[in-house]
């Protein structure tokens, strides 16, 4: 999740936190070796492979030293601590490769994308996560209006409920993309430098060793894969322990996902999408597709262009977007997305991602209703009917 719009930075840290930073700096300077990482972050094969492929360190670079000075002044962090951490950051070529877009001409395929996420093992794991965190999910729904199945589905799509949270050192990943962003696509180095800055703020506030934190190749962290900036702005202490830990506290993860969606416009009780038949006329179809995933048309304007909504869609009073998903060489799928569909795309700016989350959520809710408290046991390749075959109102 590294595509959400940036928000204004928080004000400088209060004096109490600055004193904590001094202790962090002193401990770092005096320690002979960094503290051991938590069990979830201890070395394993993938981690060892990433480290073996790490390139040169960034210590001594004029650009990096200037960055450290700017961050120290802007965020009231000890410059010596920042320089020390950055000196140990290394360029990772795998990160530069993974951030590149797919080769030109690669056909998108919604059916294949969906099958990666809406499948029996993920549904069963999702129901287990739901049972284990039912109280937190109910509290999040009561406070922010986001249904439990949507929160559970996002965690499932992002990390398979903590099974795949990333093996890259976050410091290396963000430094690589901030100072050595690869050519061949739109330059986002400024964004990743800002996320590196937010990462240092996060580590200082939570007392974490920047050398030990691991996540995705893009720097996303924890069960819900928040970028550091989103974590600093939207993450919530769901378990009330005074800290935010999106890797080890599922209560924090649940509350943070719900708060993020609410902050980006989630509307309580609103469907995510409706069934729609696209206009036969190419010009009308193109006009409705022009705004992409941003809701821009009324139900009446859909009808004027020849788009046929289902009954619930025709009764909807808010704006809609005609969302198109390619199916390789087969005809594309379409839905009429509401504000809530658009809100899910603020987590990841992809209609494929949003509909995968929504359909996994729908499968989870249906399974939960059939057998509350028990994970269903489906035969292989047997799943609830997908929306792209039998469209109906979203969750």
Q: Which residues are catalytic?
A: 158
Residue ranges with strand state E in 41-129: 54-57, 90-92
DSSP 311: H
Return d(Cα 221, Cα 228) in angstroms, integer.
Answer: 7
* 262-to-227, 234, 265, 345 alpha-carbon distances in Å: 17, 10, 5, 13
Q: Is residue 328 within 8 Å of 86, Cβ to Cβ?
A: no
Q: Take residue 290 and report the two structure tokens written for it.
A: 């022009």
Q: Name residue, tokens 């450290």.
A: 68
Return d(Cα 93, Cα 45) in angstroms, integer.
Answer: 18
Return d(Cα 367, Cα 363) in angstroms, integer.
Answer: 6
Rama region for 269: left / alpha / beta (φ>0; ψ in -120 to 50; rest): left
Return d(Cα 356, Cα 363) in angstroms, integer.
Answer: 10
Return d(Cα 341, Cα 338) in angstroms, integer.
Answer: 5
Q: Take residue 28 and report the two structure tokens written for it.
A: 């770092």
Return d(Cα 248, Cα 270) in angstroms, integer.
Answer: 31
Q: List the end-to-end C-alpha distance of the chain, in Å, as a whole number.
A: 22
Return d(Cα 62, Cα 317) in angstroms, integer.
Answer: 56
């Amino acid at each position: 999740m590294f595509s959400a719009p940036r928000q204004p930075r928080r004000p400088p840290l209060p004096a109490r936190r600055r004193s904590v930073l001094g202790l962090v700096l002193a401990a770092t300077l005096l320690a002979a070796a960094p503290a051991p990482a938590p069990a979830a972050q201890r070395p394993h094969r993938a981690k060892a492979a990433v480290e073996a492929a790490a390139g040169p360190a960034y210590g001594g670079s004029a650009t990096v030293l200037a960055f450290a000075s700017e961050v120290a002044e802007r965020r009231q962090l000890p410059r010596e601590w920042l320089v020390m951490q950055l000196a140990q950051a290394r360029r990772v070529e795998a990160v530069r490769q993974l951030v590149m877009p797919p080769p030109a001409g690669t056909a998108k395929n919604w059916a294949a994308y969906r099958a990666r996420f809406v499948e029996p093992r993920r549904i069963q794991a999702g129901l287990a996560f739901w049972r284990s965190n039912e109280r937190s999910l109910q509290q999040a729904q009561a406070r922010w209006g986001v249904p439990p199945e949507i929160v559970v589905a996002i965690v499932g799509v992002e990390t398979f409920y903590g099974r795949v949270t990333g093996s890259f050192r976050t410091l290396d990943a963000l430094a690589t993309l901030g100072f050595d962003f690869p050519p061949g696509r739109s330059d986002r180095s400024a964004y990743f430098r800002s996320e590196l800055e937010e990462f240092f703020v996060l580590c200082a506030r939570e007392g974490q060793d920047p050398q030990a934190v691991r996540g995705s190749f893009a720097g996303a962290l924890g069960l819900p894969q928040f970028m550091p900036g989103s974590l600093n702005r939207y993450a919530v202490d769901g378990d009330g322990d005074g800290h935010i830990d999106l890797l080890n506290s599922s209560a924090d993860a649940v509350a943070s996902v719900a708060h993020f969606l609410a902050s980006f416009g989630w509307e309580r009780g609103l469907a995510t999408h409706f069934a729609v038949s696209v206009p036969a006329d190419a010009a009308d179809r193109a006009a409705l597709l022009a705004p992409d995933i941003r809701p821009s048309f009324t139900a009446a304007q859909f009808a004027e262009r020849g788009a046929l909504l289902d009954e619930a869609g025709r009764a909807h009073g808010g704006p809609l977007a005609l969302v198109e998903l390619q199916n390789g060489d087969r005809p594309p799928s379409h839905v009429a997305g509401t504000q809530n569909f658009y809100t899910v795309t603020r987590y990841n700016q992809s209609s494929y991602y949003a509909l995968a989350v929504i359909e996994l959520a729908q499968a989870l809710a249906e399974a939960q209703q059939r057998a509350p408290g028990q994970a269903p046991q489906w035969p292989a390749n047997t799943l609830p009917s997908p929306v792209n075959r039998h469209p109906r109102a979203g969750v």
